[in-house]
Amino acid sequence: MADDHISALPLLLGDTPSAAISSCAAMVTAAVRACGVDTARVDWAGFTVDISEKIEEMFHIDLIPTIVGAWNDLRELKECADRSKHPADETISLPLVDHTIETSFKPYLDIAIGELPAMRVGFEIAFDIELHGVTVKIQDAVIRTIRLGSCQAAAMVKCEGDTVFQRRTRMLDAPGELVLRKGIPIGSH
């Protein structure tokens, strides 16, 4: 598989993302209604559709920079990037120890209704990913491929400080190799 992007959406929202997106949209709608918006002036059905689309976009977090960024301090990777020890044409297959990556994002939506001042609705998306059996191939100080054996993820989403949902995946097998078209220079994230 050749790609430089893996979306976190399926890990965060699961097989039925519409249910999680609807829960988030309901929280946004409740926050807007709580601000005293004249409900007669708002097409709530249209509002919910528009907000749901923006929320779905918010969950398309690219996992590759998140994962590789967590590896930047690994001594083994830094050694593979040492061009005095490894010529540009050498390909190194480097198995990494099993590890967990924890990260969080704080996206927000700015909601503007009619003449009213824009309202900011904040989210927090926190997740951790357990990675097992990871092997990277490195050439010329650039990660060219990533192979995962298996992974498991846990996620929590909050809207305005209130938990919207939490979920944990089962252990997922990740057969195959992710070929990075552009590659990721070691130490670039």
Q: Is the dihedral of CA 9, 13, 17, 21 positive or negative?
A: negative
Gap between the Cα atoms of 103 and 70, Å rounded:
9
Residues 25-62 pLDDT 10s: 888 888 888 877 666 777 878 888 988 999 999 988 88
**% of the chain exceeding 90 in pLDDT:** 37
The pLDDT, as a whole number, for residue 122 is 93
Q: What one-letter code names the amino acid at 28?
A: V
**Cα–Cα distances in angstroms (integers) from residue 77 to residues 86, 138, 141, 151, in the given order:** 12, 9, 9, 21
Is-contact 14 20, C-beta < 8 A? yes
**95: pLDDT strictly greater than 60:** yes
Gap between the Cα atoms of 136 and 177, Å rounded:
9
Residue 4 belongs to a domain:
no
Residue 26 belongs to a domain:
yes
The pLDDT, as a whole number, for residue 7 is 81
Residue 1 belongs to a domain:
no
**% of the chain exceeding 70 in pLDDT:** 95
Residue 95 belongs to a domain:
yes
Gap between the Cα atoms of 28 and 136, Å rounded:
41
Residue 145 belongs to a domain:
yes
The pLDDT, as a whole number, for residue 1 is 46
Residue 56 belongs to a domain:
yes
**172: pLDDT strictly greater than 50:** yes
Q: Please report the beta strands in 18-171, taking only residues with DSSP state E, as ranges in sequence order.
A: 91-95, 99-105, 108-111, 119-132, 135-139, 142-147, 150-159, 162-168
The pLDDT, as a whole number, for residue 3 is 57
Residue 15 belongs to a domain:
yes
pTM of the model: 0.80
The pLDDT, as a whole number, for residue 169 is 87
Among 91, 123, 86, 117, residue whose Cα is nearest residue 104: 123
Gap between the Cα atoms of 53 and 77, Å rounded:
39
Gap between the Cα atoms of 136 and 77, Å rounded:
9
Domain range enclosing 102: 9-185
When divided into structural domains, the chain yields a total of 1
Residue 91 belongs to a domain:
yes
